[in-house]
């Protein structure tokens, strides 16, 4: 779309002098010329000065922070506007007419389905009821147990194992809200990347990114019934135990351990070699690795002392 067409669609009262072509939506940090971005959270204000986006939807008070190469589209509801716009840039579910490519010694069960454009490596096993979406790339020695779903554009490395019922690449839970309470879908146009030697348990869900990729790095092991939100990055050799979860745009360092039912809020960073005990709740960045417990979160040793004191109070 041209930038003027976007402006007209969003009903902005602006005439664009440099009516460039916009081919994609992206984050401020990753956008390049020909792409449009937005600012709705002050956490990302620092990225305004370095963005290479051709246009940015943002509050009028922040327009002065943009480089001269970016056109400011003033809006007090930037997140809502970008949600409306995302539908126009959403990718069709099936986009290829190229037959799938299947490697040597790969076994695909009769009731599994592989879409056009998919590429599957050698020595893989795709079991009954599994679905491999359009333009998915799968490496060698991969096992998809029954009823695994891999959505379009996702990438699986070598030696990946995904157990029954898990879903990779489904939409993240993203909605903008109108002043009268309606929920407007933010279309998720990214993908998921699973690097080599990742294992995922049964009935786990990993959401695709809004833009870019949700990434599960090499050697990570994920238990059953785990939820990973859109645009998360899970570091190498991380362990996530059953019923744990991380909200969107959170980054875990390498060798993080998340105990059962532990959870991390969105847009946070967790230091490498951090262990979260069962039911720990993280609402702030963790900058130093260690063992943490409880909600509100605290060092595990302090949590143990607190529990001992509470027990004495209850017994008195």
Question: What is the mean predicted confidence (pLDDT) over 10-36?
Answer: 92
Residue at 95 is within a domain: no
The DSSP bridge pattern shows strands 143-144 and 175-177 to be unpaired
Please answer whether residues 186 and 204 qualify as being in contact, where contact means their C-beta atoms are separated by less than 8 angstroms.
Answer: no
Question: What is the mean predicted confidence (pLDDT) over 214-234?
Answer: 98
What is the domain-level CATH number for residue 237?
2.160.10.10
Q: Which residues of 235-258 are buried (b: 16+ CB within 10 A; e: fewer)?
A: bbbbbbbbbbbbbbbbbbbbbbbb
**Domain of 106, in residue numbers:** 101-301
pLDDT of residue 316: 78
C-alpha of 312 from chain center: 44
Indicate if 82 and 110 belong to the same structural domain: no
pLDDT of residue 116: 96
Using 50, 70 and 90 to split pLDDT, how confident is the model at 268? very high
Give 84-138 pLDDT, tens digit per residue.
999 999 988 877 889 999 999 999 999 999 999 999 999 999 999 999 999 999 9
Q: Which residues pair with 206 in a beta bridge?
A: 168, 228
Using 50, 70 and 90 to split pLDDT, how confident is the model at 42? confident
Mean per-residue pLDDT over the chain, rounded: 95
pLDDT of residue 95: 77
Indicate if 250 and 107 belong to the same structural domain: yes
Question: What is the mean predicted confidence (pLDDT) over 244-255?
Answer: 98
Indicate if 242 and 107 belong to the same structural domain: yes
d(CA 291, CA 276): 6
Question: What is the mean predicted confidence (pLDDT) over 1-12?
Answer: 94
Residue at 309 is within a domain: no
Indicate if 123 and 82 belong to the same structural domain: no
Indicate if 11 and 105 belong to the same structural domain: no
Catalytic residue list = 230
pLDDT of residue 271: 98
Residue at 266 is within a domain: yes
How many other CB atoms are there within 10 angstroms of residue 296's CB atom? 9
Q: ∠ CA 87-174-115 to the nearest 5 degrees?
A: 60
Indicate if 248 and 108 belong to the same structural domain: yes
- Which residue, 271, 263, 257, 254, is CA-closest to 219? 254
Residue at 20 is within a domain: yes
Residue at 306 is within a domain: no
Domain count, the chain: 2
pLDDT of residue 94: 78
What is the domain-level CATH number for residue 60?
3.40.1390.10
Indicate if 167 and 294 belong to the same structural domain: yes
Residue at 187 is within a domain: yes
Q: Which residues pair with 101 in a beta bridge?
A: 119
Indicate if 53 and 114 belong to the same structural domain: no
Indicate if 7 and 139 belong to the same structural domain: no
Indicate if 108 and 78 belong to the same structural domain: no
Residue at 64 is within a domain: yes
How many other CB atoms are there within 10 angstroms of residue 228's CB atom? 27
């Amino acid at each position: 779309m041209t930038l003027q067409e976007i402006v007209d669609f969003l009903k902005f009262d602006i005439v664009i002098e440099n009516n460039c072509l916009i081919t994609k939506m992206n984050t401020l940090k990753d956008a390049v010329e020909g792409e449009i971005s937005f600012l709705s959270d002050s956490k990302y204000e620092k990225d305004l000065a370095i963005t290479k986006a051709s246009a940015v939807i943002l509050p009028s008070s922040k327009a002065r922070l943009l480089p001269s190469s970016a056109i400011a589209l003033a809006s007090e509801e930037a997140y809502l506007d970008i949600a409306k716009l995302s539908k126009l840039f959403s990718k069709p579910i099936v986009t290829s007419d190229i037959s799938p490519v299947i490697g040597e010694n790969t076994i695909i069960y009769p009731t599994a389905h592989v879409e056009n454009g998919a590429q599957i490596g050698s020595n893989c096993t795709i079991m009954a009821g599994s679905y491999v979406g359009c333009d998915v790339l799968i490496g060698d020695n991969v096992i998809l147990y029954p009823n695994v779903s891999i959505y379009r554009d996702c990438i699986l490395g070598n030696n990946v194992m995904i157990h029954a019922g898990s879903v990779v690449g489904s939409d993240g839970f993203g909605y903008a809200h109108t002043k009268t309470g309606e929920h407007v879908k933010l279309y998720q146009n990214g993908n998921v990347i699973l690097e080599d030697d990742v294992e995922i348990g049964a009935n786990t869900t990993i959401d695709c990114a809004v833009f870019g990729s949700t990434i599960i790095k090499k050697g990570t092991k994920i238990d059953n019934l785990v939820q990973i939100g859109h645009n998360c990055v899970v570091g190498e050799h991380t362990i996530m135990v059953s019923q744990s979860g991380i909200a969107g745009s959170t980054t875990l360092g390498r060798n993080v351990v998340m105990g059962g039912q532990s959870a991390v809020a969105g847009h946070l960073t967790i230091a490498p070699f951090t262990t979260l005990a069962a039911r720990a709740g993280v609402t702030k960045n963790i900058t130093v690795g260690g063992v943490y417990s409880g909600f509100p979160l605290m060092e595990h040793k302090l949590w143990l002392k607190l529990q001992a004191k509470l027990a004495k109070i209850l017994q008195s």
